[in-house]
Chain A
Amino acid sequence: MLIEKRRVDNRGRILLPLRGIKEVFVCSLGRTYIISEDKGEIDRIISILNEKKIEEKKKAIKNWFAIIEATELEKMSVNDLNKIIVKSIKKEVEKSG
């Protein structure tokens, strides 16, 4: 796999060495672009990237809830959580005099 540096002209265009190709598909992922004459290939790359992203997200959730489980916060009811918020706001009001 080779990453090449190409100049962008003052109208935002780049020149690609795609001799004999009449049109390409472009997929933008934020500031990254995937360009191919084969739409299926772009779909395949997107699918791999999505799977990878989902795995990373699952890992983030796993790490977060590992701490939640250690604190036993999961056992707390929604009502208890709401009471904590109210208590915290009350404290803040009292503190401000």
Chain B
Amino acid sequence: MVERIFIDSNAFFKRKEKFMEIISKGHSLVINNIVVYEVIKVLDELISESNDKKAKLYKMLKERFPKLLKDLDIEIKCTNLDNERLLMCYEIMKNKNVDIGDAIIYLFMVDNKIQKILSYDDDWRKFDIEIIR
């Protein structure tokens, strides 16, 4: 059965095998604007902090990222926030002791009825979703 799986930012940097497995099963993959922001932020920081050789590789990753998303048919969706929903994020942050990024992603997953996330972040254990790793 084809499922929709949310891909957390850390999954783009860790464990090729799990990504391969999900792709082999033909699942449809989804991210939101928070993930795009986090991946680019990590790469930008690494580019500025690394020596020439590594910086070149990080630049290569940054340039290739949009193509990777396209090649993998990863759906990029935007999380819409209004004041009411922002307050819901605050509730999630408070109740689950997570950061704003995770709260927005969780809200996004609930809105889009996505039950699974590919992530290596233990914070997701606090939520009623299935973690793939």
Residues of A near any B CB (own CB < 8 A): 50, 53-54, 56-58, 60-65, 67-68, 70-71, 73-74, 76, 78, 81-82, 84-85, 87-89, 91
B71 at the interface (CB under 8 A from A): yes
Is B130 part of the contact surface with A, judged by Cβ < 8 Å? no
The residue of chain A having its C-beta at the shortest distance from the C-beta of B42 within the complex is: A84
Task: Confirm or deny: B57 has a beta carbon within 8 angstroms of a beta carbon on chain A.
Answer: yes
Tell me how far the C-beta of A78 lies from the nearest C-beta in chain B, rounded to whole angstroms: 5
Contacts A/B (CB < 8 Å), 10 sampled = A60-B72, A64-B64, A74-B15, A81-B13, A82-B121, A84-B41, A84-B45, A85-B42, A85-B45, A88-B42
Give A57 to B46 CA distance when docked, in angstroms.
26
> Who on chain A is nearest to B8 by CB?
A78
Return B111 CB to nearest CB of chain A, in Å. Answer: 23
* Chain B interfacial residues counted at CB < 8 A: 33
Q: Which residues of B contact A68 (CB under 8 A)?
A: 13, 16, 61
Q: Is the interface of B mostly helix, strand, loop or mixed?
A: helix
Q: Is A88 a contact of B41 with CB atoms below 8 Å?
A: yes
Q: Which of B15, B20, B61, B122 is in CB contact (< 8 Å) with A67?
A: B61
Check if A87 sits within 8 Å of B19, measured CB to CB. Answer: no
Q: How many A-B residue pairs have CB under 8 A?
A: 77
Q: Are B42 and A78 in contact (CB under 8 A)?
A: no
B16–A76 CB distance below 8 A: no
B14 part of interface (Cβ distance < 8 Å): yes
* Given A56-B71, A84-B41, A67 and B13 contact (CB-CB distance below 8 Å): no
A9–B30 Cα distance when bound, in Å, is: 38
- What residues of chain B lie closer than 8 Å to A50, measured between beta carbons? 26
Query: Using a CB-CB cutoff of 8 Å, which residues 1-57 of chain B contact chain A?
Result: 9-10, 12-16, 19-20, 23-24, 26, 38, 41-42, 44-46, 54, 57
